[in-house]
Amino acid sequence: MAAAADTAHHVVNMLPFKIALIGMLGIGAQWLAWRLQRPAIVLMAIAGLIFGPLLGWILGFNIWAPLDNFLQMFHLDPVHDFGDVYRPMIGIAVAIILFEGGMTLRFKDLGNSAHAVGRMVFFAAPIAWGLGTWAAHYIAGLPWDIAAMVGGLFVVTGPTVIMPLLRQAHLKTRPANILKWEGIVNDPVGALFAVGGYEFIRFTQEGANMGLAIGKLIFVAVLGGVVGVISGYGLAGAFRKGYIPEYLKAPVVLAWVLAIYVLANLLAPETGLLAVTALGMTMANTKFASMVEMRRFKETIAIMLVSGVFVILTATLTPDVLKDFFSFKILGFVLVMMVFVRPIAVMISTLWSGISWRESLLISFIAPRGIVAVAVAGLFAAELQAIGRPEGEMFVPLAFALVFATVLFAGFAIGPLSKALGLSSKHGDGVLIVGANPWSLGLAKALKDMGIGVLVADTNWRRLRGARLEGFATFYGEVLSENADYRLDHSAFNHLIAATPNDAYNALVCVEFAPELGRHRVFQVAGQDKDDKDSDTIAFTSRGRTLSSRGRSFDAFTRDWWSGWRFKTTNVSEEYPIANLMEERGEDVDLMLVKKESGLEFVQPGQGSKIDKGAVLTFGPVKDRADK
């Protein structure tokens, strides 16, 4: 008895350390993925495997007692560590993750991709569900009811995995938007398919006949949706009427999600996931103040939960389960899902849709599954075993194997495949200008006249008015927010110019986009003129490259613009070298960039004399009307 009490006391004492370890591993993997530009989901899984089953395997050898005691501190065994709270803890985390997914789905943001995305949701998803069910039954050997859960869940494509892939591949706009919005919409849809499958199994386990089980399932689905929609409109109304102060809005949202999840489960077991997904979608499409703050808060919470849940679920894998990864059943199921189920579903759903066969082929093979697939699989694997269905144990290895295979394949294949199909944007195609002002709009017009695509971004709608009147593509919002990952067309630009009056903000924008575009493609106006001796400047390593050959500040560019300076494009060649151009326009002229057949080359301070050929964009004084 005393030994058991000591063991329990030891577990309690170690639990805070294990929670901190999970947090450090998850967020550390996210940070390392950002630094290495690799899918975070793979690094989180590796962390969970190392500190879970691998460390447990090492401890099994009983090498040396002091060393074993030390390693035991870092060994993660979530089911044992958390005990009875393990299942409800995962359930709450999945509920918040699904709410966050619902919050990203704003129907008005679908734009021109709505028709294609609708086909992917209403046609491709059910087809993939049916074919996936067939594969799970005949290849993985699962009973039909659990196979239906597996097939329904794996129609998802994770947006948190797809976004970085799209930025790296620089796909053309239409296939990029289809992949992006399919992931956003299907993420909650696949989870709801799995919820429906579980509810059907639970009803039949309780002895209900087929008709009664289907009736209960429909009732539960309607009830969960109604609870979510009503609670979403109610909370949004409370925000609009000022019943909740600003500083409490974000915490109230989190508490409200937890309350609705628990309430829906009390009304009808396991309807909480459906209710919170509907709650998130309702709030995303309801206008109320502080929506941006809500998104930032829930993004922070979701990142922490995604990191922790994925490490926890990976750590629960046992050596026996890991051996199953290489079994014929799982490998065959994964292969069929990737080369048979997904392509057939996409090809059928995109017939006569206006989408080219090249786009359909690319979309068919780029379908990485993400955190929702693993999180929901982990949740329902435990739930199925709790109601007497041990076959549910297969859910977790199937999910992990499919996630690993699809993420790794998409990561390596999207670049070469998009280029082979002619669906990748060419380097130098476009420029994102952050900051709308008279000088930057003049630069945008000059770039457009050179045949270079331009996208102007600003947080002020009124400042974007000039850009809209000129016919430029615009982005209204904060380019540093995660919301920009979904709404900003990253395929439209390969270079960035930060041209706002705030030097620190310009530097922050450049640092944020440097890993995506490359540090040699992010530029900002100088914080001060070269002859300014003030030493309080941002370090070179923490800012973008300096724009223009003379490296003048935003104030200098603006002053010269209002003095009558303008942009002009001149072709430089052996017959008309750069020296002639400088002589014609004057020594004070700024050389901005050169357009060559190989792409754009921005001129750095002191490099103007090295230009040999190409279309050179300059900014300088206007000597006669013909130069304007």
Same domain, 375 and 445: no
Same domain, 592 and 610: yes
Enter the pTM of the model: 0.67
Specify the CATH number for the domain of residue 372.
Answer: 1.20.1530
Q: Taking residues 47-56, report their average pLDDT.
A: 84
pLDDT in tens, 397-448: 888 888 888 888 887 788 788 888 887 765 446 899 999 999 999 999 999 8
pLDDT greater than 90 at residue 299? no
Q: Taking residues 376-384, report their average pLDDT.
A: 81
- The helix (H) or strand (E) run that includes residue 357 is helix 357-365
Q: Taking residues 279-305, report their average pLDDT.
A: 72
Strand order in the sheet with 614-620: 566-572, 614-620, 590-596, 599-602
Residue 1 has a pLDDT of 47
Of residues 222 and 531, more confidently modeled: 222
Residues 6+ apart with CB under 8 A from 607: 549
- The helix (H) or strand (E) run that includes residue 406 is helix 395-420
Which region among 106-120, 222-236, 248-262 has the lowest average model confidence (pLDDT)?
106-120
Which region among 21-25, 135-139, 207-211, 392-396 has the lowest average model confidence (pLDDT)?
207-211
Question: Band of the pLDDT at 540, cuts 50, 70, 90?
Answer: low
Q: Taking residues 445-472, report their average pLDDT.
A: 89
Question: Band of the pLDDT at 270, cuts 50, 70, 90?
Answer: low
Among candidate residues 360, 385, 420, the one where a domain is terminated: 420
> How many domains does the chain contain in total?
3
Nearest to 529 by CA among 494, 493, 492, 560: 560
- Taking the CA atoms of residue 378, residue 380, residue 381 and residue 385 in that order, the dihedral angle to the nearest 10 degrees is 150
pLDDT in tens, 16-28: 888 888 889 888 8
In a domain, residue 486? The reply is yes
Residue 297 has a pLDDT of 66
In a domain, residue 238? The reply is yes
Task: Residue 200: count other Cβ atoms within 10 Å of its Cβ.
Answer: 20
In a domain, residue 358? The reply is yes
Same domain, 199 and 245: yes
Candidate ranges 84-98, 232-246, 282-296; pick with highest mean pLDDT: 232-246
Q: How far apart are CA 557 and CA 619, in angstroms?
A: 9
Among candidate residues 74, 90, 109, the one where a domain is terminated: 74
In a domain, residue 425? The reply is no
Contact yes or no for 594/614 (Cβ under 8 A): yes
Residues 6+ apart with CB under 8 A from 19: none
Same domain, 437 and 409: no
Same domain, 178 and 248: yes
What mean pLDDT is reported for the chain?
A: 79
Q: Taking residues 41-62, report their average pLDDT.
A: 80
Residue 340 has a pLDDT of 92
Q: How far apart are CA 270 and CA 202, in angstroms?
A: 10
Residue 536 has a pLDDT of 47
Same domain, 397 and 531: no
Same domain, 408 and 520: no
How does strand 453-458 pair with strand 473-476?
parallel
Residue 195 has a pLDDT of 77
pLDDT greater than 90 at residue 489? no
Same domain, 239 and 314: yes
Nearest to 244 by CA among 289, 211, 206, 278: 289
Which region among 43-57, 409-423, 557-571, 601-615 has the lowest average model confidence (pLDDT)?
601-615
Same domain, 411 and 441: no
Specify the CATH number for the domain of residue 547.
Answer: 3.40.50.720
Among candidate residues 25, 55, 74, the one where a domain is terminated: 74
Burial zone of 349 (CB within 10 Å; 0-12 exposed, 13-18 middle, 19+ buried): buried
Q: How far apart are CA 174 and CA 491, in angstroms?
A: 10
pLDDT greater than 90 at residue 134? yes
Q: How far apart are CA 568 and CA 585, in angstroms?
A: 10
Q: CA torsion sign, 190 to 192 to 195 to 200?
A: negative
Same domain, 100 and 6: no
Look up the domain containing 474 and give its range. Answer: 430-627
Same domain, 146 and 184: yes
Same domain, 70 and 83: no
